[in-house]
Amino acid sequence: MGKSAFFIRLYGCPVHCPWCDSAGTWHPDHIPDKVEKISPRKLAEMAAERRPRIVVITGGEPAIHDLGELTNCLRERKLKVHLETAGAFPLLGTFDWVTVSPKEWKKPILDCIVRANELKIVVDSLHAIDYWEKEMGHVWCSDSIWLHPEWSKRKDQAILQLINRKVKEGKHPYRAGYQMHKIYGVDEEDAGGERWSNGSGGVMECDLGES
């Protein structure tokens, strides 16, 4: 949290969360008519020029793609490669850090949970944390589990106090999280990347593919 990051946001997602803030990566009402494809090598060159502390591969759902070539190109340039995924698909590529944010609409597979360096639970209701404790509490291997209020619930005091209580209980390694980039207006401020508004608050930087 708070590090400079170069985001590579890939198109395509079969999870379709109803509150998705990057619906332009998959929703037919928001996805552009034409998407320029950028090669993995070119993406790595673009990232290296920015000299970020980390490169974050996200989506959409990035794990539906074979990320081997892209991660190799990034690592050749000595870049730290992070992945954020729902954890529902096998991970193809080499990563320095894996964040799994499980979604009930396509549940994570055990291999992804075991490989996760951290988990991020999106708290979209008063039942969300209990739901995931019942679903996955016995296989949580990470010592860092973030509880993020879903953005439309960010001022909901009941949700915030629930997160507060869960962190203080200490039964799991919970940490209170937040989408800090939205507070700082990062998407609006950063004119360096190519991005398109999807009409629902999300942005897309690129599409992985051959040029």
112-127: pLDDT as tens digits: 998 999 999 999 999 9
Express each pLDDT in 99-113 by its tens digit: 999 999 999 998 999
Which domains are present in the chain?
A: 5-208 (3.20.20.70)
Measure the CA–CA gap between 111 and 108, rounded to whole angstroms: 8
Tokens of 205: 């930087």
Q: What is the pLDDT of residues 197-207, one digit of tens each?
A: 333 333 334 44
pTM: 0.85
Of 182, 148, 139, nearest to 167 by C-alpha is 148
Cα(41)–Cα(76) distance, rounded to whole angstroms?
10
Tokens (6 digits) for 64? 């539906």
Buried-state track 131-161, b at ≥16 Cβ within 10 A, e below 16:
ebbeebeeebebeebbbbbbeebeebeebbe
Cis link prior to 60 (omega < 30° from 0)? yes
138-197 pLDDT tens trace: 777 788 999 999 999 999 999 999 999 999 999 899 999 998 888 888 877 765 444 433
State the average pLDDT over residues 22-27.
83
